[in-house]
Structure 1
Amino acid sequence: MVSSHHNRDGSISHDVVYANIPPSERTAVDSADDLLNKMGYKAELVRSRSTLQAAFMSFVLASIPYGLSTTLYYPLQGGGPAVVIWGWVLVSLIILCVAASLGEITSVYPTAGGVYYQTFMLAPPRIKRVAAYICGWAYVVGNITITLAVQFGTTLFFVECLNVFEKEPGVGIWQAETYQIFLVFVAITLFCNLVSATCNRWLPYLDTFGIAWTFLALICICVTVLTVAKNGRRSAAFAFGDFEPSSGWPPGWAYCVGLLHAAYATSSTGMLLSMCEEVQAPATQVPKAMVLTICLNLFGGLLFLIPLMFVLPDLAMLVAIPSGQPTPTIIKSAVGSSTGAFLLLLPLVILGLLCGTACTTAASRCTWAFSRDGAIPGSKLWSRVNPKLDVPLNAMMLSMAVQLILGVIYFGSTAAFNAFSGVGVIALTAAYATPIFVSMLGKRSQVKAAAKFPLGKFGWVLNAIAVAWSCLALPLFCMPSVLPVSAETVNYAPVVFVAFVSIASLWYFVWGRKHYQGPPKEEVHDVEVAVRRASEAHLKKGGALEKTV
């Protein structure tokens, strides 16, 4: 982490910040800023994150086991342990292909615009403007709605954690009204935005704490529930293979719908791209961070889910829980104590707040990056960086306002959380697949020539798996989770997604078609090669200088 100095007006002096970076790291920062300048952008944010700190943030964005706790209802309804365990493994391996594919492209185009900028650079000239515009909107919508889903999921999870304490058998101590749940959601959203806005320089430390806290929580939950197991333990055959779909869908499709659980937890994979302009050497550090995080998440997820499947109570009872949050009930059943269950659940609530803060940070950066190219109504306002806080505060406030407005959907349907998580997964999946797909259209020629994170002969296979997953996920997560469909169980995800697409399309035809030009510079391939060579030369000099020092 780098130290900073504030000018008299309260703004951060980047020269002083970078003066404290070791020579070898400083050359990497300089080359990253040089490439950014050649792309037509000014370096406005402090590059304060190392490879590990980028990986830690990526890990906190997924926030295993919290991310798996809030959506456990879907695989339990979709079939039970077989969907929970093997669905998690399957989706994690697929997302590993997505992360590797995005990492290769990001190593060529490391900007906060992420998949939006990459699509513009890789798409054929005739369609690059509209393709980038659509991808950018999907990326922004995905970031904002996933952040909303995290805040709302934390709200519902927190209420259910409190209700492990009962005023009478089967009745929790707080039967929260709709407006009360909404107010808790507002409070959590405001808190995460406050931390993200005012504590930017400390966020890498917070992410480091988050990964240590995660594995401490995992160990405590794993050991306690398996050791106590108040109501006994299930057989290994049940924990790994039981399949009892109760959603009303045919068994095969029920299994697929249950994959929303794993897809939601891993949907944040590409959100780290929005932080490229705050990472010291993003061309190499961000791809490594994304791939490393998926591997770590796969292990952490199994460490959390397998013990729960061994102590799983009655499936029908869990699926019937009104809040749709079965994890607190599972843990309470295992430990046989309300106090013990609450103490085990409390670390997950804290992880939810850390995850919400990280998602808020990433969503603000992608909104800001898209705005500086004039793609969002009122772009001049949203593309400003607050000089005192060194964050795009206006973009953060826009993201928060959209989340609060969409949160009102909960008053109309308790299935709103399904809509928020569903549309987030849909939008981000589409956004991640777009640059990968257009790269394949160009026979991967641009990324093969300049990638610092090359996939080599595996590139085509990994790219194809990533695009195929997108083709399945887009219609899959538009489906209602249960049949028959009622007003309470209808999936609003496609409605919200279509609304955003309509707004984006209207803005494009009213204004963007004539005024939106995309990123400031269209051709940077020669610059990439030149800057990469200069960077390598500087790094060698920096390493020699370090030895001398």
Structure 2
Amino acid sequence: MSTETPGQYRKTTTASSHAKGEHYVEGSPGPASADADVLLGVLGYQAELARSRSTWQVAFMSFVLASVPYGLSLTLYYPLIGGGPVSIIWGWLAVGMIMTCVAISLGEITSVFPAAGGVYYQTFMVSPPRYRTVAAWICGWANTMGVITITLSVNFGSAQFFVACINIFGEDGNPVWPAETYEVFLLFLAITFLCNTISSLGNRWLPILDTFAVFWTFTGLAAIIICSLALAKNGRNSAKYVFTEFQTNSGWIPGWSFFIGLLHGAYVTSATGMIIAMCEEVKQPAIQVPKAMVLTVILNVACGLLFLIPLVFVLPPIEDVVAQSSPVPYILRMAIGNQGGAFAVTIPLLVLALLCGTACTTAASRTVWSFARDGAIPGSRWWRKINRRLEVPFNAMMFSMVIQCVLGIIVFGSTAAFNAFSGVGVIFLTISYTTPIFVSLVTGRRTLKRAHYNLGPVGVACNIIAICWCLLITPIYCMPSYLPTTADTMNYASVVFIGGVTVSAIWYFVWGRHSYRGPPVGVEEANVRRDSLVEAK
């Protein structure tokens, strides 16, 4: 592990590559790993992680981070109360189109600055010198807290979803496992430990696991579609109902209620930019990661429609569905008409829950590690170490896991804990994604002149849409989703959000404003180094 202090340039170990003339040239094929490591040196870092992922493998991991059928199952409550079928189908499609714009915007910037620091590093590099360190600090903390809390929400949601699937075997609303709060919490801890174990001990096999997850997803999706539509014990709704029925059950006015329904898609697609944290384990990150982000969002949208449309065709009365602890197991039970059969088709979703938790754990550990190596987190000297035997930032992974477990204790104070975790995760991630996009746009997108992907006017339009999305979704996720609001149904995302902001602000005034200098190389120096490499080629 490098012992240089933050702000110093870390020399890369690619001297042999230089001697052979294997320099990085934008757009050139070249020896993938050598070129990527040289570029990483240009950006100021030493290559410490093995580049073991191809374009398809990084795309598969990006797909697993969203785990669309599982993610949509966790949050189907929002569009059910927000607008019914219209909100479920058209709301998902609208969010998918918006997140495609976000992915395109991030992809353009990532093709210039493909580092594990992701949006944090990118914000520093695209910002004017005067505001660089503050902007990077804000974005870095938002991104770090976002990946930790979204991973927490995935694993906590898995615990709740598992209980709901077991209770498919209940009769007349009487659950077979009326899980107490402490039981849900213990199940959450077990799932969290399992995901961390798989991510840390099985790192070299994770690309294979991600590939398996893609085929597993579509196999399970086929089983759900065929069984629910073919049996449809509760009858089938008309196409007019599926695509045009709009009914609100949230207590809000119709327009705002529809926006509440968008939280469904916002949660599932919030992982879009998390794949950037894997840039230093990808063979050609400047090319592969942007492709993976955009293509995966498009695939997720299609996969989501394949999942949601059949569910709405067999949807029971909405007032009955929203009364359940988890909508999807109830919908499947009513459609299939058999407890064992309904539970069987939830098994693919349960497996996806663990795969999604493992992928989120992996991305979160890289995010914490990359932020810590620039000294921005208390105790950074521990969290920035790489475990050479496991080839993972093990300390950063354990740090992230401990924070998740501590935050999970919130469940003992509120049954709406999942809403708080998922809400604050989406808020933080959305803000972190938007920060480099906004700064790049207001500074004339000047750094994109060196980009592999620069879509010009189309890119500008995508930037504007991404910024508007942040301005819309942030206040929505802070508002209660249902009126009238009680202590149990209150949205506590804003409370957790304020807590996270307070921690980062205190650390900034205690240490950051005097010692933090950002990534170890500025944009001007990086450009000079990049140009010298191109000329040498």
User: TM-score, with normalisation over the residues of structure 2?
Assistant: 0.93
d(CA) in 1 for partners of 2:301 and 2:295? 10
TM superposition shift of 1:169: 2.0
Q: Which runs of 5+ in 2 are unaligned?
A: 1-12, 23-27
Change in 2 beyond 3 A, CA 1:530/1:50: farther
Question: Residue deviations 1:190-231, cap 9 Å, x none?
Answer: 000000000000000000000000000111111111111001
d(CA) in 1 for partners of 2:58 and 2:112? 18
d(CA) in 1 for partners of 2:181 and 2:30? 52
Secondary structure, aligned partner of 1:131: helix
**Quick check: 1:94 aligned with 2:98?**
yes
TM superposition shift of 1:528: 3.2
Secondary structure, aligned partner of 1:255: helix
TM superposition shift of 1:361: 0.1
- Answer with 521-530 or 290-299: which moved more: 521-530
TM superposition shift of 1:37: 1.4
What code does the residue aligned with 2:72 have? L
5 Å-filtered alignment, 1:328-477, equals: 328-447=329-448, 449-477=449-477
TM superposition shift of 1:31: 1.3
d(CA) in 2 for partners of 1:338 and 1:531? 64
Match of 2:529 in 1: 527
Does the 8 Å CA contact 1:386/1:393 hold for their aligned counterparts?
A: yes
Match of 2:495 in 1: 495
**Quick check: 1:32 aligned with 2:36?**
yes
What code does the residue aligned with 1:287 have? P
Secondary structure, aligned partner of 1:239: helix
Match of 1:320 in 2: 323
Does the 8 Å CA contact 2:72/2:265 hold for their aligned counterparts?
A: yes
Does the 8 Å CA contact 2:43/2:113 hold for their aligned counterparts?
A: no
Question: Residue deviations 1:254-284, cap 9 Å, x none?
Answer: 1101111100000000000000000000000
User: TM-score, with normalisation over the residues of structure 1?
Assistant: 0.91
Secondary structure, aligned partner of 2:68: coil
What code does the residue aligned with 2:154 have? V
**Quick check: 1:212 aligned with 2:215?**
yes
Question: Residue deviations 1:383-417, cap 9 Å, x none?
Answer: 00011101001100111011111111111111110
TM superposition shift of 1:457: 2.7
5 Å-filtered alignment, 1:42-441, equals: 42-166=46-170, 168-321=171-324, 323=325, 325-441=326-442
Does the 8 Å CA contact 1:225/1:334 hold for their aligned counterparts?
A: yes
Change in 2 beyond 3 A, CA 1:306/1:187: same
d(CA) in 2 for partners of 1:453 and 1:529? 18
Q: Which runs of 5+ in 1 are unaligned?
A: 1-13, 538-549
Does the 8 Å CA contact 1:108/1:528 hold for their aligned counterparts?
A: no
What code does the residue aligned with 1:144 have? I
Question: Residue deviations 1:24-47, cap 9 Å, x none?
Answer: 977121111011112221100000
TM superposition shift of 1:476: 1.1
In angstroms, what is the RMSD of aligned CA positions?
Answer: 1.5
d(CA) in 2 for partners of 1:81 and 1:237? 10
Does the 8 Å CA contact 1:230/1:333 hold for their aligned counterparts?
A: yes
TM superposition shift of 1:455: 1.4
d(CA) in 2 for partners of 1:75 and 1:282? 36
TM superposition shift of 1:438: 0.4
TM superposition shift of 1:453: 1.7
What code does the residue aligned with 2:436 have? P
Does the 8 Å CA contact 1:450/1:529 hold for their aligned counterparts?
A: no
What code does the residue aligned with 1:390 have? E
5 Å-filtered alignment, 1:476-491, equals: 476-491=476-491
Change in 2 beyond 3 A, CA 1:345/1:470: same
Provide the identity percentage.
58
Does the 8 Å CA contact 1:78/1:257 hold for their aligned counterparts?
A: yes
Match of 1:545 in 2: none
Does the 8 Å CA contact 1:31/1:531 hold for their aligned counterparts?
A: no
d(CA) in 2 for partners of 1:62 and 1:27? 31
Does the 8 Å CA contact 1:25/1:280 hold for their aligned counterparts?
A: no
Match of 1:5 in 2: none
Change in 2 beyond 3 A, CA 1:531/1:31: farther
Secondary structure, aligned partner of 1:518: coil
d(CA) in 2 for partners of 1:72 and 1:265? 11
Secondary structure, aligned partner of 1:374: coil
d(CA) in 1 for partners of 2:212 and 2:529? 38
TM superposition shift of 1:241: 1.6
d(CA) in 2 for partners of 1:146 and 1:529? 39
Does the 8 Å CA contact 1:478/1:491 hold for their aligned counterparts?
A: yes
Secondary structure, aligned partner of 1:280: coil
Change in 2 beyond 3 A, CA 1:57/1:25: farther
Secondary structure, aligned partner of 2:168: coil
What code does the residue aligned with 1:491 have? N
d(CA) in 2 for partners of 1:227 and 1:247? 32
Question: Residue deviations 1:330-370, cap 9 Å, x none?
Answer: 01100000000011001000001000000000000000000
Secondary structure, aligned partner of 1:481: coil
Question: Residue deviations 1:501-525, cap 9 Å, x none?
Answer: 1000110011010000100011312
Question: Residue deviations 1:80-104, cap 9 Å, x none?
Answer: 1110100100000000000000000
d(CA) in 1 for partners of 2:223 and 2:348? 10
TM superposition shift of 1:527: 2.6
d(CA) in 2 for partners of 1:327 and 1:240? 19
What code does the residue aligned with 2:66 have? A
Kindly tell me the number of residue pairs found equivalent between the two proteins: 512
d(CA) in 1 for partners of 2:445 and 2:42? 22
Runs of 4+ deviating beyond 6 Å:
23-26
TM superposition shift of 1:445: 1.2
d(CA) in 1 for partners of 2:434 and 2:350? 32
